[in-house]
Structure formats: structure tokens, C-alpha cells
Amino acid sequence: MKKNSIRNFLSRLKILASNKSLFLKLDYNKINKFLAEFLTKEGYLRGFFLVDKKKDISKMYVILKYNEKDQPSICFIEKKNVLSNKSQFIKQKKLRKYCNGLGLTLIYSINGFITSELAFWLKLGGKKIFELK
């Protein structure tokens, strides 16, 4: 369930970014909210807001971010088998290349969801959720 939700969020985000749409409408759940908060904090999205109907939050809108050349900032999602059945565990030694500002990787470790740079400095490994370049 979680893998499908993350895959759905990222694929819909990439499709709408290629269509030059401004808003992405999603069902509200904790995973979608966490991913929207994370990508907004890292500067890949402009923001998001929740829509409540009769005090029950049911929908969520994500606002996409574009640069001066009308290219979406989220268009660099790696299309690998990140969420396949086999384990995508990254050791701490392999995280060195991500600390030079060459990309962003979301990792699930024993400390929860963290970025690749923070995992490198904490000397942790973890399962790679997705990668942006």
C-alpha cells in the first residue's frame, strides 16, 4: 500500500509537470502530505494546501514550481526500479556522492525518513525511496 501510494504520487507529479499544469489534485493521506512537505521544504515544489469539506480533509492540492524557461523543477525524478520488490538498501559509503549537491535522495533509515546528506553525516544507511537529480 505504501509503495503504491509513493509511486502514484511521483508518477502523477511527473506527468502533470510534463504537461505544464500548475496544480496536482490528490486524495489526502499521510504519505502524500509527507512527500508534499518534504519536496516543498527542499525547494522542488512551490507548496500545497488541503481542502476540507464539512471539517473532513479529503483532498489535497500540490502547487508545482517552474523556472524562468518554463521547465518544472521536479522533472529530474529517476525512472529506476526504486520501489520494486527487491531491496534498494544504500550503505553509508555510497552516500558520499550525494553530499556535493548533485541530487537529493529520500532514505528510510532507523531514524525515519531523512535526506541522503543527513544520512551521510549521521553515518547511517537505509532503503532508498526515490532520487532526484
| pLDDT digits (tens), the chain, 133 positions | 466 778 888 888 888 877 888 888 888 888 888 888 988 888 888 899 888 777 667 888 988 888 787 777 766 665 454 445 455 777 766 666 555 556 677 888 888 888 877 887 888 888 888 777 6
Grid cell 504520487 is found at 9
According to the model, what pLDDT value does residue 32 have? 87
As beta bridge partners, residue 109 has 112
Contacts of 23 (CB under 8 A, 6+ apart): 16, 61, 62, 63, 64
**What does DSSP say about strands 104-109 and 45-53: parallel, antiparallel, or unpaired?**
unpaired
First to last CA, the chain: 26
Global confidence as pTM: 0.74
Predicted local distance difference test score (pLDDT) of residue 30: 85
